[in-house]
Amino acid sequence: MSQRRVLVVEDERTIAESVAARLRAEGFAVDLAHDGPTAVARAQALHPDLVVLDVMLPGFDGLEVCRRLQADRPVPVLMLTARDDETDLLVGLAVGADDYLTKPFSMRELAARVHALLRRMDKLAGTANHQPAAITVGDLEINRAERRVRRAGVEAHLTPIEFDLLVHLASRPRTVLPRERLLAEVWGWSDASGTRTVDSHIKALRRKLGPDLIRTVHGVGYALEVPA
Ligand code: CA
């Protein structure tokens, strides 16, 4: 629940699979892309929390991917460079990569860097990485242990999936979560044809908790914002 999502971009399948396996073992939800254009499309659809990005890619290279991602929506990037190439490195940092690893690297080192980068981002964002038992956003109170929800002191009765969807949105208030990402994380589907399912559950949450709680960002997804 409210798992961190990492997009791994690497055309060498064995490396991509090892990185993905290690990050999954560390508790991350992992998506893969094997070329530049797919990487940009996946990042735009899923809004990952972090991108592990190889420099040498078919389509267009990792530097171009990084440039496009940062222009679209800033995201922490851990760059993988094939060699000790200072030019790649300097350009990488210039286009918005936050850290880099030179191949070959150990999976242990990769995991350590990913955690460190996310911790740094959390600190910057002023949010903690742990999952609190209770979430309060404005007049919305969520008790995760008892799976109870109250708004302005009035209890709402949610279905299990509505509850999980609400927790997802409330864990990152004022953050736009794409429908594809909600579908993947709440329902466990990666098929974008199910996004209407998300819409209908959002409708139910609005009916039960008030129409002003969840903002629609057209063409993207939803954000939970309790009016002050
Ligand atoms: Ca490569």
Q: What's the CA-to-centroid distance between 68 and ligand 1, angstroms?
A: 18
Q: What's the CA-to-centroid distance between 83 and ligand 1, angstroms?
A: 11
Structural contact between residues 77 and 65, judged by C-beta atoms closer than 8 angstroms: no
Fold annotation for 131-224: Arc Repressor Mutant, subunit A (1.10.10)
Would you kindly state where each structural domain of the chain is located, as residue ranges?
Answer: 5-127, 131-224
* pLDDT for the residue 188: 73
Diameter of the chain measured on Cα atoms: 60
Q: What's the CA-to-centroid distance between 89 and ligand 1, angstroms?
A: 15
Q: What's the CA-to-centroid distance between 71 and ligand 1, angstroms?
A: 23
Q: What's the CA-to-centroid distance between 5 and ligand 1, angstroms?
A: 21
Q: Taking the complete model, does pTM exceed 0.75, yes or no?
A: no
State the DSSP string of the chain.
Answer: ----EEEEE-SSHHHHHHHHHHHHHTT-EEEEE-SHHHHHHHHHHH--SEEEEESS-SSS-HHHHHHHHHHHS---EEEEESS--HHHHHHHHHTT--EEEESS--HHHHHHHHHHHHHHHHHHHT--SS--SEEEETTEEEETTTTEEEETTEEE---HHHHHHHHHHHHSTT--EEHHHHIIIII----GGGHHHHHHHHHHHHHHH-TTSEEEETTTEEEE----
Residue-wise pLDDT tens digits, 168-220: 999 989 889 999 889 888 877 766 667 888 898 999 999 999 999 999 998 88
To the nearest whole percent, how much of the chain has pLDDT over 90?
53
| Segments in the chain below pLDDT 50 | 1, 127-129
Q: What's the CA-to-centroid distance between 36 and ligand 1, angstroms?
A: 10
* pLDDT for the residue 1: 42
* pLDDT for the residue 129: 43
Pick the CATH number of 5-127 from 3.30.70.20, 3.40.50.2300, 3.30.465.10, 2.60.40.3880: 3.40.50.2300
Q: What's the CA-to-centroid distance between 42 and ligand 1, angstroms?
A: 18
* pLDDT for the residue 126: 57
Q: Do domains 5-127 and 131-224 have the same CATH topology?
A: no
